[in-house]
Structure 1
């Protein structure tokens, strides 16, 4: 009888530790899966499986399987992932920073001679052929809420109560306006130089090239150089917001 109660107690303990459910919490430690129905399952071992010709799924403790279509978020040894859902895509974004404002990303792959494919660390959208190029697409979440595109408009609303962050965002906006102006100006000067070059009747292509052609190319290249060397003001605004909040007394946060 004692052995029976001991086994029952251990069984309940294991279930409570690895099979309990709860509400969504984007900063919960451990390995777990959050389902679309609100259930959360903890695990000692969690693997994401993507078999060929079959649907991807999450394998819990080498036994239970959960279709990725029914998963809202999960956390494995690599980090925390949450679903990005809108009219165009449904992927999982990986969290790269944690705070009142947390940051996530997926990766976007474009193909030179076909349509772009969208994929995240776990989950794929469209596919294509040709030479691929990949870039990260960033999102943010405030207070563990739904993801939003990480851009000036969305951040300005989310960080509105922090004057320092808003000031940094305005630097970003002014920089973007300057880049747009230089791009338009450079394109116009380039077209002007191209037209003049066509009209010229020099002995060679080099001699016929109008100097404004090179000036236009130089102006259009400035925004690209600015992106290489200037600070990332969007991330700077998020970091300042999280830092200032961390300095406040707990009761004022």
Structure 2
């Protein structure tokens, strides 16, 4: 079974809960009638087809986990295989389903982009124009476009408290036609008016110079309770980073990038200026 971010998160929660109890794996196994190796597999997320709710509840009870701390972990078990993206009839890769899974559980998403408008913010026409230029195999463009539209449903999830994105000014460069860019930039302005969405821009000028975000964009997906993963997208795939020590530098970069960006109001004005330039090109 693929170790999705949700399954890895469950395993990590179980492991850390047991460690905080002060009990060894052997002691927990004795309380449950399990072998030490079974406890070890349980804490590594090796559950078979899926984790058993009753086994997780017994495990948490055996280590003395208070009910207030049990519920978030049990919720992970209940939601472990929610068919969020399957409903749309798309044949998605393991990497994509893992990303959708993580975004669905997010309380907060911080994203930076240096080159193009991120997928979560793209219009269909922008996605299509971009993919025509960047995909080596253009046979599956429709599927890629629809997948990005499915991902945007994250903005309607009640769990999500904030989506904040910092764009380098280079992301406003022309992709596709002037019509495509006007539509895309107006879409950004509309999204920025949503209460939980923040869109800011870092200027490309002599005053700004270099800044940490230039090393590359990423998506920091925060689940709350100091749990987060980072997704770094490449041309045809992506990489997840979920070790807390590895995630921490991305948090620091995100904070520093937000400090050098324009305010939300100034960013909206800059985006509007670019939209106006593209309108003039249409004329």
- Give the structure-2-normalised TM-score: 0.21
More strand by share: 1
More helix by share: 2
